[in-house]
Amino acid sequence: MTTMRDRFYSVTEELLATDECAALVLADIGAARVRTALDRYPGRATNVGIREQAMVGVAAGLAMEGFRPILHSYAPFLVERTFEQLKLDLSHQGVGAILASVGASYDWAEGGRTHQAPGDVAVLDTLPGWNVHVPGHPDEVEMLLRYEMDRSGPAYIRLGSQSNARATLTQPGRFVPLRTYDDAVATIVAVGPFLDRTVEAVRDLRVNVVYAATVRPFDSETLLRVAGSQQDVILVEPYLAGTSIREVTETRGLSPRVLGLGVPRSEFRRYGNADEHDAAHGLDAAGIRRSVVAFLDERAPVLS
């Protein structure tokens, strides 16, 4: 099966071939997968070696001259190691780039803490005007990458090894209401690859489900339309728990109790695989169900 990462490489190569403003800056990660493009477009497609700070600075220079650079690496090296470059070389200079990360919160659980970045979205949240996409399917990666190539601002696309069974996104940037009930007591916002498990977790509960593949800007308008003024809101995010709570509480017209499910802040010294980490953090279907039921208490009527 094609992974998000496979699709990212193939679409990136196509964009480089068809759009002379497209640029790519790598820091070794992924270079072997786009070797043809690196050979064919030297200059606007460059591998700087294992130099993430330079990767961002070089991208900023390309953007200042009118190119639309794509950057790519493991999330911690792309976002955390380079944070000052993202803040100053991109945001402060007033130029943009498309950052596409792999590794997510703990895709390579055996790799340990160094290759895990549950805080990536929260870190970027300190910067102004970034689009943050968390696709849940390879088709959505393609849609969001093409969408961002036509824009000029800073953007982050968080690729992961976990994926939903099918693509759900229809319009980049907007939430997708999937299940709504007139008498629902809560609306759940399921982010990216956590959609399928969230739907499974609440399949017999009378709660609304909204899908989000873009979390910044946060589509408060759709959330408000679905949740109305009375419902509680539950966020199920595949990165640091509570990252988007403020987006909910600042939405005018909503006055919910909010539950923010996601990866805890504490360091978790276990290896294994991502599914095992999900289960340990209560982020598999059973864990999400437990948290939702506990939060809603007896107010979550079971579907008849």
Q: Which residues bind another protein (CB under 8 A)?
A: 23, 25, 41, 43-44, 46, 48-49, 51, 53-54, 56-67, 69, 84-85, 88-89, 92-94
Q: Considering the complex, what minimum distance in angstroms separates the CB of residue 234 from another protein? A: 40
Measured from the CB atom, the residue of 57 and 238 that comes closer to another protein is: 57
Q: Considering the complex, what minimum distance in angstroms separates the CB of residue 150 from another protein? A: 19
Q: Considering the complex, what minimum distance in angstroms separates the CB of residue 71 from another protein? A: 11
Q: Considering the complex, what minimum distance in angstroms separates the CB of residue 247 from another protein? A: 27
Find how far residue 242's CA is from the centre of its chain.
14
Measured from the CB atom, the residue of 58 and 223 that comes closer to another protein is: 58
Q: Considering the complex, what minimum distance in angstroms separates the CB of residue 82 from another protein? A: 10
Measured from the CB atom, the residue of 2 and 93 that comes closer to another protein is: 93
Measured from the CB atom, the residue of 58 and 79 that comes closer to another protein is: 58
Nearest by Cα to 137 from 201, 222, 211 = 211
Q: Considering the complex, what minimum distance in angstroms separates the CB of residue 176 from another protein? A: 37
Measured from the CB atom, the residue of 10 and 53 that comes closer to another protein is: 53
Measured from the CB atom, the residue of 85 and 131 that comes closer to another protein is: 85
User: What is the DSSP code string of the chain?
Assistant: ---HHHHHHHHHHHHHHH-TTEEEEESSTTGGGGHHHHHHSTTTEEE--S-HHHHHHHHHHHHHTT-EEEEEEEHIIIIITTHHHIIIIIIITT---EEEEESTTTTTGGG-GGG--TTHHHHHTTSTT-EEE--SSHHHHHHHHHHHHT--S-EEEE--S---SS----STT--EEEE--TT-SEEEEEEGGGHHHHHHHTTTB--EEEEESEEES--HHHHHHHHTTT-EEEEEEEEETTTTHHHHHTSTT----EEEEEE-SS-----S-HHHHHHHTT-SHHHHHHHHHHHHGGGSPBP-
Q: Considering the complex, what minimum distance in angstroms separates the CB of residue 120 from another protein? A: 21
Measured from the CB atom, the residue of 53 and 180 that comes closer to another protein is: 53
